[in-house]
Amino acid sequence: MPENDTITLDTLAEQVTETVQNDSTVQAVVETVEMLRDTPVSEWLPQLVRQYLVPFAIKLVIAIIVLIIGRWLIKIAKKWMANGIMSRKGDPTLHKFLSNLISFILNFILIIFIISILGVNTSSLVALLASAGLAIGMALSGTLQNFAGGVVIMLFRPFKVGDYISAQGQEGVVKEIQIFNTIVLTMDNKVIHIPNGILSTGVMTVFTKEETRRVEWTVSISYGDDYDKAKAVLLRLCNEDPRILKNPAPFVEIALLNNSSVDIKMRVWVKSADYWPVFFSMNEKVYKSLPKEGLTFPFPQVDVHMS
């Protein structure tokens, strides 16, 4: 390679110095490099270890110790809060939500404290995080909406853990209310995560909010069958079931004179937990009892008269 094409360390230092001569920080770095170039390694390496590596190693050990102790204290705080809520017979929904929220906040504070121990300027870091948080907040507006939805759910309590709800086309028992999502367990044992944002602003049905629910059936009999007998049989079936409440009394009346049937509406009130057992068992009782009384179940038919 020609001599004029060879870039020596002196030439490189001169070029860098000329380029950044107005930048004091970079100029100091260049001067340090020039000093180290002319100094034997055996002289500056011990000083480097003594002035920089050893203090940083001490700070790193302290930071690790603080991390371990901090995590231990956070676990104790969560356990103390859980015992406090349970001793006062608090709502497990509130316990889960507050536990997740406090854990997030305390871990964030712990990280900031550890960074300050390592010598990082936390004021600049906080300002940077605030700026980054604004940009991230705009990008993750849906996530922040879910967080706000979780807060709204905890404040107004439209439902709680253990309630049976229907929302966003999903239906099941609420197992846990987290910061961003609500976990629902369906009747066929599927776990569904519903975002709190749409859950707090959308239409939702809570089936277990009240102690009692109304069960309805439509029982069809053929034209020509004895309606009074059918009504008496249906009322008897309602009165024989101890799960059906006597007040309000069972309701049995003709609802519609249909094309091929007389439709009878039957309504009863039961405890919310007995809704489905009563519904299915009554279907079976009606199907077995009405034919024994000489009553028939009609089916769609068309009469054709030919002359």
Say what the pLDDT of residue 1 is.
Answer: 43
Residue type, 270: V
The domain boundary residue, chosen from 111, 139, 167: 139
Question: Tens place of pLDDT for every residue, the chain, 307 residues?
Answer: 444 444 455 555 565 555 555 555 556 656 666 665 666 656 656 666 666 677 778 888 888 888 888 888 888 877 777 676 655 555 566 666 677 777 778 888 888 888 877 776 666 666 666 766 666 565 556 677 888 888 888 878 888 888 999 998 889 999 988 888 899 999 899 999 999 988 888 888 998 888 999 999 999 999 999 999 999 999 999 999 999 999 999 999 999 999 889 999 999 999 988 999 999 999 999 999 999 999 999 887 777 888 8
- Same domain for 163 and 219? no
Say what the pLDDT of residue 299 is.
Answer: 81
Say what the pLDDT of residue 37 is.
Answer: 63
- Same domain for 195 and 264? no
Say what the pLDDT of residue 143 is.
Answer: 73
- Same domain for 191 and 216? no
Domain that holds residue 66: 46-139
Q: Are 166 and 207 in contact (CB under 8 A)?
A: yes
- Same domain for 130 and 180? no
Q: What is the CA radius of gyration of the chain?
A: 38
- Same domain for 79 and 106? yes
The CATH number of the domain holding residue 64 is 1.10.287.1260
Domain count, the chain: 3
Taken in order 137, 142, 146, 149, is the CA torsion positive or negative?
A: positive
Coil, helix or strand at residue 125: helix
Asked, for residue 36, whether it belongs to a domain, the answer is no
- Same domain for 190 and 251? no
Rounded CA separation 203/166 (Å) = 9
Taken in order 286, 287, 288, 293, is the CA torsion positive or negative?
A: positive
Going by C-alpha positions, the residue among 117, 139, 120 that lies closest to residue 128 is: 120
pTM for this predicted structure: 0.53
Element housing 142 (H / E): helix 141-156
Say what the pLDDT of residue 190 is.
Answer: 93
Side-chain-facing half-sphere of 3: CA atoms under 13 Å: 0
* CA distance between the termini of the chain: 117
Say what the pLDDT of residue 215 is.
Answer: 95
- Same domain for 200 and 224? no
Say what the pLDDT of residue 72 is.
Answer: 87
The domain boundary residue, chosen from 115, 139, 163: 139
The domain boundary residue, chosen from 117, 139, 161: 139
Asked, for residue 35, whether it belongs to a domain, the answer is no
C-beta pairs of 73-82 under 8 Å, 24+ apart in sequence: 74/103, 74/106, 74/107, 74/110, 77/102, 77/106, 78/102, 78/103
Say what the pLDDT of residue 214 is.
Answer: 95
- Same domain for 189 and 168? yes
- Same domain for 182 and 98? no
Q: Which two tokens stand for residue 274?
A: 């007995």
Say what the pLDDT of residue 87 is.
Answer: 59
- Same domain for 198 and 247? no
Q: What is the DSSP string of 34-81?
A: HHHHTS-HHHHHHHHIIIIIHHHHHHHHHHHHHHHHHHHHHHHHHHHH
- Same domain for 58 and 134? yes
